[in-house]
Chain A
């Protein structure tokens, strides 16, 4: 499977600010996704990051709040904008590779706390 890194691993932010999370993969991937896992909950898909074009967002998530970039096959960023305490969560990058075909693997996650 691919080696996935995320930065930062955790952060504490003030209400109203924005945070950009980076996801880097050590090999070319076919698909990249961003998930959120709120405390005690399962994973919720935020969006699919598309290379060179706008991300595809799931119901309940919008570009203004969660802008996503994917400039190449191995890198993506997720920004959490105008944060509120409700955005406190773990944000996870996930990828599919050509070798893995149908399987998805997760990065280590970014733990965000908004005060």
Chain B
């Protein structure tokens, strides 16, 4: 089983709609979870962190965490063309290392 699983996409979402990005992880001990955005040719940029079960909102972004299901998601409301990027799910594992998924490519359709 892969440590972090994400749908590679591309996920196409109309402008103004909600984009939903999902991630599952294998290490039950993980307590910290991060979402990074990576534009083509650029380095990853941290956009959200979440540590507790439930929802965490920051502007148009909402991270959702369910530790029992080992599931974390990122919602992007009012999607903009500038949101088109690859989104990397990154839990911190039992060795205190941040492990990255392969990412989901998101394409916002104008």
Residue numbers of A with Cβ under 8 A of B are 1, 41-45, 90, 92, 102-109
| Chain B interface extent, by class | 10 to 19
Closest to B45 in A: A106
Contact across chains for B92 and A102 when beta carbons are under 8 A apart = yes
Closest to B32 in A: A102
Check B63 for interface membership: any CB of A closer than 8 A: no
Which applies to chain A's interface (DSSP): helix, strand, loop or mixed?
Answer: loop
Determine the chain A residues whose CB is within 8 A of the CB of B97 once the complex forms.
45
Determine the chain B residues whose CB is within 8 A of the CB of A104 once the complex forms.
34, 46, 98
- Give Cα A105 to B43, complex, Å: 10
Contact across chains for A42 and B100 when beta carbons are under 8 A apart = yes
Q: Contacting B46 at CB < 8 Å: which of A43, A92, A103?
A: A103
Contact across chains for B102 and A102 when beta carbons are under 8 A apart = no
Contact across chains for A43 and B34 when beta carbons are under 8 A apart = no
Known A102-B32, A103-B34; contact A41-B102, beta-carbon cutoff 8 A: yes
Check B49 for interface membership: any CB of A closer than 8 A: yes
- Give Cα A112 to B49, complex, Å: 30
B30 to chain A, nearest CB (A): 12
Enumerate 28 A-B pairs (CB-CB under 8 Å) in ascending A order.
A1-B46, A41-B102, A42-B88, A42-B100, A42-B101, A42-B102, A42-B103, A43-B88, A43-B100, A44-B100, A45-B97, A90-B43, A92-B43, A102-B51, A103-B46, A103-B49, A104-B34, A104-B46, A104-B98, A105-B46, A106-B36, A106-B43, A106-B44, A106-B45, A107-B43, A108-B43, A109-B42, A109-B43
Determine the chain A residues whose CB is within 8 A of the CB of B103 once the complex forms.
42
Determine the chain B residues whose CB is within 8 A of the CB of A105 once the complex forms.
46
- Give Cα A45 to B97, complex, Å: 9
